[in-house]
Amino acid sequence: MARLSYTKLRFEDLKGWADDNHRAALNVFRTTCADKILAELAGIAPVARGFFEDHFSPVLIEDGADAVFTGYYEPELDAKRTSDAAFCYPIYGVPNDLDPEKPYYTRRQIDVDATLADRGLEIAWLSDPVDLFFLQVQGSGRLRLPDGNAMRVGFAAKNGHAYTSIGKALIARGVFDSDGVSPEAIREWVQENGQAGRALLWENESYVFFREVSEVPADKGPIGAMNKSVTSGRSIAVDPDVTPLGLPVWIEKSGLPPMNRLMIAQDIGSAIKGAQRADIFFGTGADAGKQAGQVNDSGRMIVLMPLAMADDMAKGKS
C-alpha cells in the first residue's frame, strides 16, 4: 500500500458543510456507531451538526492517487427457485469446500466445467448470465418470483481471485472510451457478441457466493459489510484498510449532479481500494441502477475521525 498522509482540516474547509442535512446522516450513523457512542446518544436529541462538530475532526487522507467516486445499487431481477429452459443460470450459495485462505475455482471453471452443479447449492435461477454477473458486482439483490413473492440475496463469500474490471478491459481493447463505458453499454456488448461476450465476463475471475437474506424488512436497504442495512444517498463503500468502517465521511463529488454530503462508511467492495476511493449507494431497482451507472467522478473525501484518533493520525501514529 502507498504511504498515507493525514491532514487535519476545519469544518469550514468542507465545501457545502453548513448546507447539508446532518440529521439524515446522524440517523444513519446511529445504526452502526460504536456502543459507547450509541449510549451517549440514547435519550437525547442532539443538534446533528453540532454533534459531528463536537465529537469529530475532519481528516484528509491521501495516498497520491486521484479521488474516484462510483455508484452501486441493489438490482431487482426476475428469478425462479427451480431451473427450466430459460432460467438456467444459478445463484450459488457457499460451497462447503471453499477455503478462504486459498483461491477457489475461477469464474470460467464454475461456468464452463459445472464444478458446482448437483451439490444442491442453488439458491435461485436467473435467465441472463449478464444479470448474474452484475448481481455479483453489486453484491446483493431482490429477486421477483413467479408466485408474486420476493427473495433477497446478499454477499456471503468470494472465490479468492482478484477482481478485474471488464469495463477497463473493453477500454483497453478500444471498444469504448472512458466516457462511453457504462453498465448498459457493457450489457449490450456482451449480449451482442455471443461467446466472445461470455469470454469477456470470464476475464473477471472473481466470483461471489450468496446467502438468502430474510431478516431485512422490505423498506430497508441491503446488508452491508457491517451487517447493517445501507441507506440510499447516505452510505458508501470504502477501503477498510484506510477508512475504518462506521465512521462519517464527507464527500465532495464533482460531475453532474455534484454532491457535497455527509455519508457513513458502511460497506466495502473488491474494486474499492485507496484513500480517495468510494462507492455511493443509490438504492434499489432500475432507476437506482441508472443513477449509479452514470457516476465516475473526481473530487475528494474527508474522514470525520473521533478527536483522539484524529490527533494520533496527524502525529503519524497510524
Domain 5-72+221-314 -> CATH class: mainly beta
pLDDT tier at 318 (50, 70, 90 boundaries)?
very low
User: Average of pLDDT values for 63-68?
Assistant: 95
Domain residue ranges in the chain: 5-72+221-314, 73-212
DSSP annotation of 4 reads P
Question: In angstroms, how far is CA 297 from the centroid of its own chain?
Answer: 16
How far is residue 221 from each of residues 6, 79, 209, 225, 311, measured CA to CA in Å? 32, 20, 19, 12, 34
User: What's this model's pTM, rounded to 2 decimal places?
Assistant: 0.84
Closest CA to 265 of 283, 247, 282, 279: 247
**pLDDT of amino acid 23:** 93
Residues 113-138 have pLDDT tens digits of: 878 988 999 999 999 999 999 999 99
For residues 69 and 251, the answer to whether their CB atoms sit within 8 Å is: yes
What percent of the chain is predicted at pLDDT more than 70? 94
Cβ pair 192, 201 in contact under 8 A: no
Omega into 90 within 30° of 0, i.e. cis? Answer: no
Q: Which fold has domain 73-212?
A: Ribosomal Protein L25; Chain P (2.40.240)
